Structure 1
């Protein structure tokens, strides 16, 4: 991945919910800011757009002063949600709104490029009000893309779309980023959407970057219980740290069993923790824990739910413990209500400091 186009260094802007953010946006890649409401995502985009300045810290553009752009810098393009676009105008009028300073021939070329990229060819004269919600979203993207900005900023661009439409548009946006080598920053609260779009994923928590890396890195090696719960489904078993051994720790679960897990940000012996393990990493067998092998825990299969692309297994562990496992359709599973055992690679489970 290329060197950062834009870098945040200890940026604080409490009025925008930023409390010491460190972040690098690689050139020619899609950086997704993922976090709940109030995490600082939109505030970070406002700084990138030049609509506000840090109270402390620095924004660096290609290693230099953010307010003195380097040669060739074409500014930022900001996505406006479809409902904020002028309703009484045609697609062409909406998309060319930011191109008024260009000569007519160049303006026409920018328009054609943007409409072709978003599959809107032939819709130039169509009033925006006559388009479907997904088509209006494409027009909004075309409007932001038309000036060919050096940095494209998208604040929850697919909000309000149906789930299937969000997925489809996210894949189209992903293809656009790669086809044109765009540098993009996207803010979203949707983990699935973030995983679809991101080359570089930054999880924000209370105005700081809780973890950054590729989507795979953040998913497979979360830095905290917050990150683990935000990025994909996760079993969370509360317990107490008993002992430490290098990068691993022994935990006594509240439901009874003891086990070993990788130490995330869990504290020392006696501290409260959460053991997190992804459902797809939980192995389930219709045999005793002794037969299953070292590290296996006795369990009871309570229900099996068919969800099309996978089976969802609901299991009871110990005294009141609950686990979810996933299996491909057609997999052999224990009898509901009958004995079973569960196990996972200790390297796939993490012990995190208990959430507040």
Structure 2
């Protein structure tokens, strides 16, 4: 299991946390202070359960939750509590923005309540819309109202369950970047669950991939993207080519693989087992070099290929290539690149350090 980076200062910690009814099975996880942490995985991976425990809505049957080195149940001085957003808790459409966003401020006197509300609405770009009925707002603005409700008490810890779910792509990107800026401006600690790897890369300072109620891998988004620990992680965090094959030999951190489509090559050993075991060779599309040359002309490690399709997507070309006997491979190349013609000579290559051999997924 991956340890946090050396400079990591754990703020929130799960220590061998079990909660069988919630699907947690020995979760060990450490999250940083004043940063955006994302728990990435499908709905049953354990992210929502972890948020419930942090919010005090459930308790573990085994293990401990720690806050700044102490017990989460006994927070340090200055602790302002937890703010929780869940997409399912959308405010009723007939209420005004002010009514919905001030739900958790009733314990404050009127001047303090007004100040808290104004700060929360301004942070989420809702100032001036206090009297607007929620049902008249577009979906992304309604989402901001619900987030303002969680933010208005000015908590120390903000928990967000699928905060980008249901929004179109431009709205997801805008909100993710604004949440990052908000964390930096306010010094918040934010923990969010997400199912989409692209959203996670956009939002996270610290990324934890969960699987079956346990930690699969954690680190910075770049670390997890560039050095995934398994085929499961690699598939969640960014696009990957997956070529099935069989392990032929191991040599330290390297692994020789015979692909089912024919070629034999070397890759970094991920979690692949020994010789004779089934594996997946994973390589990112942007790491695949493509040349309008024969493999011999391209050089050592190149594989003969055939271009099957090319799609222009603005900032890059998406190429579909065939290697060996029916092995399909996607490559991404900059516009203007010299590319092979369909039926003409072609080859592909990548740095063996950029490809990983993982256990085959069941």
Tell me the TM-score normalised to structure 2 length. 0.96
Take 2:33 and 2:102, find their aligned partners in 1: how far apart are those partners? 26
Render the CA deviation track for 1:310-344: whole Å, top value 9, x for unaligned. Answer: 10111010011111100112211000122211100
Task: Find the counterpart in structure 2 of residue 119 from structure 1.
Answer: 125
Structure 1 residues 191 and 327: CA distance shift in structure 2, 3 A: same
Render the CA deviation track for 1:23-77: whole Å, top value 9, x for unaligned. Answer: 1121100110110121111111100101111111111111112211111111110
Residues 82 and 136 of structure 1 are in contact (CA less than 8 Å); yes or no, is this contact kept in structure 2? no
Task: Find the counterpart in structure 1 of residue 306 from structure 2.
Answer: 300
Residues 90 and 146 of structure 2 are in contact (CA less than 8 Å); yes or no, is this contact kept in structure 1? no
Task: Find the counterpart in structure 2 of residue 161 from structure 1.
Answer: 167
Larger mean CA deviation between 73-82 and 90-99 belongs to 73-82
Residues 82 and 140 of structure 1 are in contact (CA less than 8 Å); yes or no, is this contact kept in structure 2? no
Which of 248, 255, 259 matches 2:261? 255
Task: Find the counterpart in structure 2 of residue 76 from structure 1.
Answer: 82
Task: Find the counterpart in structure 2 of residue 213 from structure 1.
Answer: 219
Which of 105, 110, 115 matches 1:99? 105
Task: Find the counterpart in structure 2 of residue 332 from structure 1.
Answer: 338
1:259-338 alignment runs, 5 A limit: 259-338=265-344
Matched, 1:21 2:51: no
Structure 1 residues 241 and 2: CA distance shift in structure 2, 3 A: closer
Take 1:131 and 1:249, find their aligned partners in 2: how far apart are those partners? 55
Take 1:309 and 1:137, find their aligned partners in 2: how far apart are those partners? 30
Structure 1 residues 83 and 97: CA distance shift in structure 2, 3 A: closer
Take 2:137 and 2:320, find their aligned partners in 1: how far apart are those partners? 44
Equivalenced residues, count: 356
1:37-116 alignment runs, 5 A limit: 37-81=43-87, 84-116=90-122
Take 2:139 and 2:277, find their aligned partners in 1: how far apart are those partners? 50
3-state secondary structure, aligned to 2:218: strand
Render the CA deviation track for 1:62-107: whole Å, top value 9, x for unaligned. Answer: 1112211111111110014376213322111111110111121111
Task: Find the counterpart in structure 2 of residue 200 from structure 1.
Answer: 206
Residues 173 and 197 of structure 1 are in contact (CA less than 8 Å); yes or no, is this contact kept in structure 2? yes
Task: Find the counterpart in structure 1 of residue 4 from structure 2.
Answer: none
3-state secondary structure, aligned to 1:79: strand
Matched, 1:188 2:203: no
Residues 255 and 268 of structure 2 are in contact (CA less than 8 Å); yes or no, is this contact kept in structure 1? yes
Larger mean CA deviation between 182-191 and 79-88 belongs to 79-88
Which of 225, 230, 234 matches 1:224? 230
3-state secondary structure, aligned to 2:102: helix
3-state secondary structure, aligned to 2:244: strand
Take 2:198 and 2:297, find their aligned partners in 1: how far apart are those partners? 37
Render the CA deviation track for 1:289-308: whole Å, top value 9, x for unaligned. Answer: 11111111111111111112
Which of 335, 346, 352 matches 2:352? 346
3-state secondary structure, aligned to 1:53: coil
3-state secondary structure, aligned to 1:284: strand
Tell me the TM-score normalised to structure 1 length. 0.97
Take 2:271 and 2:323, find their aligned partners in 1: how far apart are those partners? 24
Render the CA deviation track for 1:208-230: whole Å, top value 9, x for unaligned. Answer: 11000000000000000000111
Take 1:271 and 1:254, find their aligned partners in 2: how far apart are those partners? 13
Take 2:88 and 2:16, find their aligned partners in 1: how far apart are those partners? 34
Residues 292 and 338 of structure 2 are in contact (CA less than 8 Å); yes or no, is this contact kept in structure 1? no
Residues 31 and 185 of structure 1 are in contact (CA less than 8 Å); yes or no, is this contact kept in structure 2? yes
Q: Which ranges of structure 2 fall in alignment gaps of 5 or more residues?
A: 1-6
Residues 244 and 259 of structure 2 are in contact (CA less than 8 Å); yes or no, is this contact kept in structure 1? yes
1:109 is displaced (CA, Å) by 1.1
Take 1:211 and 1:83, find their aligned partners in 2: how far apart are those partners? 30
Q: Which ranges of structure 1 fall in alignment gaps of 5 or more residues?
A: none
